[in-house]
Structure formats: structure tokens, C-alpha cells
Amino acid sequence: MVKMSTVPEEGWLTAREAAARLGVKRASLYAYVSRGVLGRHTGPDGRTSRYDAAEVDALARRGRPRRANGEPVVEVAVASSITRIPEGSDQRLGHRYRGRRALALAGDHTFEQVAGWVLDGRDEPIELGPALGPEPAEATAPPAGDVLARMRLAVERAALADPLRQDLSAQSLRASAARLLRALVDASGPARGPVPDLELASGESVRASAAGRLAVALHPDARPPRWATGAINAALVLLVDHELATSTLAARVAASTRADPYACVVAALATLAGPLHGTASALVRRALLAPDPVATLAELSGGSGLAGFGHKLYSGIDPRAVALLERVERAAPAHPARLAGLALTEAVEHRLAMPPNVDLGLAVLTAAAGLDADAGPVIFAVARTAGWLAHVAEEYQAPPLRFRARALDVSR
């Protein structure tokens, strides 16, 4: 983002000075510019770059948070063209995938179409690959309730069935993406009934979509309400990517070693094993109907924030939460889960001044649709796999082994 401006001469910083004031390397400074977080201005000679000192200081105050104990947050900046999260008043418009608004895509595009667009910028959907068939009799299955373990096992089985998994070309990566997404959808549960069609806002009816398969697999009676398939598709689209979340960074680090895409997805899935990323919607569901939802949610969150509320990238309500909650409001306005979500939101905003995020929306949606208790984490994992693979593809184009963190010696 290159700008011309009339800031007084004493208000300008060189790249070296701006990076020092932010406490980052120049590569991170340039990444801020590429993401639109910081403006880069052209000097009087038309060649040199300079930065508005006031803008840099504002970013330093906003963008370098500290933990409660004073320990600095580890910040990693990676140049990427996949997702942009706006700032300021534009946040209400939501994030964009390669320039396209995710909120708009969620209504009139299938998850498969968005997955293809995010992967490589082509308007060609990723059709879910063929099923792998039943698990071998000798396989050791994880506990029935550990859905994430089932998903990791499904990815490993898909890898073993792909003789070209070490081919990191763009064409091969699309084929791997189809196999991976089908494996994860199948791992969510058995096909308990006929798959409902997906009805898009355009009036188009889509058969055998990922959203339809998940709606049936995640519903105890295989009879989800008619609106559930469209709502699940919207959730999948909105959750595809969200910049460098923890799981996405794990996938990119693995890709930098030139691990195959299956291994990269396993690395990302491993980060979902904890309660703080990807599985928070399941905690919110457990708290929704508790006698004291706020206290219950605080206990389940383990003292690390409050699951379903607050987000470091949004100053107000997460627009993804708004989109999902509006779908539930239109389809099931009087459902107890929606009313409980409203009461919980009001209590948290009153007591803690924290707006809801997408995990609250996903919890209310899955509960109102009558889906399994772990449906939220399943939907998150399937959706985010598409984003992980896009970042993996992007990382394959970067120099290998470029992530090399350093330890600060605090020994005495």
C-alpha cells in the first residue's frame, strides 16, 4: 500500500526506524504493508520509502499486546494473499478471501466452490473425492467420543492411500485436497440417512454437498431441519480461513519443511486438541443451559479468556457470529438454544463487556439444529482444512525452512 501524503518532514520514519519502533524485523514491517495494516509512502526522490510516525506509533500501541503477567506475545508476520481482515469501521463487512467478501460467499456459494477459490484463486470447486471404504479390521479405533482423533486417523489413512502424496505441484495438491476433505467429512460420522440438497440464496439446489453430508452425519436421527444444510454451508464458508491462527501457522511451519499436505493437516489438527482453538464452540454449548452460564463457561474455559467471547482482531462483535446468529433467528427464533445464547451474551456483555465471537454463533447454530455436541469442532476442522491447504500451497512457493525462532536465554 503506497501512499503520497503531506505529513511534516519531522513526522517521517525510515524503514529501519519504523521497524525498530515496532520492535519487529523489516520483513514483518513489509508484511504489515502488504496486508494493508500500515501505509508506505514515497519520499521526495520517488524511490525511497518512509512511514508516518504517528501511524507507526498507533500500530505499536494497538498491535503489540502484553499478557497479564507482562510476558510479550510472540508475533509472527507472514506475507499472504489469501485472507484480509479489515480494521476500523470496515470490520462489520467481514473478512475477504482473495478479495471476495466471505459474508457474501456464505449465502450464494458452496463450501466446495470457496475451497477451490481460496486454494489457488481458480473458480473451480474442489469436488469431494471418493470414500476410502471401511477401516481395516486390524485398525485400532480411537474412543467413540474423540472426534478429532478420528479425523487425524482419517487423514493418515487417506495419506497411505495416495501414492502421489509427495507430489507438491498445484495440480496434485487439488487432488489431495479432494481426498482430505472427503476423508474428514466421512470421519464426522456414518451416513445415517439420505443427504438433503443444499439450497443457495440464488435458488440453486446442490446435491451431495459437504454441508448436506455433515447435516446428516452430525444429526442423531439423520433428520436435520431443512434450514440446517444451508446454515452449515455458511459456517463452513465463514470458517475456511482467518489469517494466521495457531493451527494455520502449524500447517505453514510443516509445509516449510516440505512435508506432504496430509502431514501438514495432521500438524494443524493437533493444535485443536486443546480447548482454546477450534473446540471452543463445544464448551459454549455445555454452558448454554447451565444454571449460571457465565460461571460455567469461565470454569470450562480454564482461565484463558472466555470461550465464545472476545477476539483480539475485532474491536466489536465478530461479524461471523452475526451472520450465523441471524440464520438461527430467521429459522428458529423461539428455539431454547437461541434464547439461551441471547441471555448468555447479555450477561457477558454486562459483566465483562466482551462481545460474542464465531464460537458462540457456531454453538447456538449446532444446538438449534439438533446436531451432536461435538458438531461445532467437526465443522470448524473440515472448514479450516481448506484454508490450511491454501496456506500450505502458498508456503510451498516460499524458501524452505524459513521459520527459525530463537530462544531468549533466561537462565541464571
Per-residue pLDDT of 109-141, as tens digits, reads 999 999 999 999 999 999 987 776 666 544 455
pLDDT value at residue 351: 85
* Higher pLDDT among residues 314 and 409, named by residue: 314
Write the DSSP assignment of 366-404 as a string of letters. HHHTT--TTHHHHHHHHHHHHHHHHHHHHHHTSPTT---
Burial of 163 (0-12, 13-18, 19+ CB in 10 A): exposed
Residue 177 in any domain: the answer is yes
- Do 39 and 51 meet the contact criterion of CB atoms below 8 Å apart? yes
Catalytic residues: 311, 359
Same-domain status, 283 and 156: yes
Same-domain status, 283 and 134: yes
- Whether the per-residue pLDDT at 374 is higher than 80: the answer is yes
Kindly report the CATH number assigned to the domain that includes residue 122: 1.10.580
Same-domain status, 200 and 311: yes
- State pTM to two decimals: 0.82
* Higher pLDDT among residues 290 and 366, named by residue: 366
- The residue segments making up the domain with residue 316 are 110-404
- The pLDDT confidence band at residue 62, using thresholds 50, 70 and 90, is low
- Whether the per-residue pLDDT at 345 is higher than 90: the answer is yes
* Higher pLDDT among residues 146 and 198, named by residue: 198
C-alpha to C-alpha distances, 116 to 97, 102, 175, nearest whole angstrom? 11, 14, 11
pLDDT per residue as tens digits for the range 3-55: 434 444 567 888 888 888 877 777 777 767 766 678 888 777 766 788 888 88
| Distant-in-sequence, close-in-space partners of 259: CB < 8 Å, separation ≥ 6 | 267
Backbone angles phi, psi at 101, to 5 degrees: -70, 125
Q: What separation, in Å, do the N-terminal and C-terminal C-alpha atoms of the chain show? A: 45
Residue 95 in any domain: the answer is no
In whole numbers, what is the pLDDT of the chain averaged over residues?
Answer: 87
- The pLDDT confidence band at residue 406, using thresholds 50, 70 and 90, is confident
Apex CA 373: angle with CA 372 and CA 377, to 5°?
Answer: 100
Same-domain status, 122 and 69: no
Residues above pLDDT 90, as percent of the chain: 62
Same-domain status, 278 and 359: yes
Kindly report the CATH number assigned to the domain that includes residue 57: 1.10.1660
Same-domain status, 331 and 210: yes
- Whether the per-residue pLDDT at 412 is higher than 70: the answer is no
Same-domain status, 120 and 261: yes
Specify the residue for cell string 523489516: 26
What's the total number of domains in the chain?
2
Residue 324 in any domain: the answer is yes
Residue 55 in any domain: the answer is yes
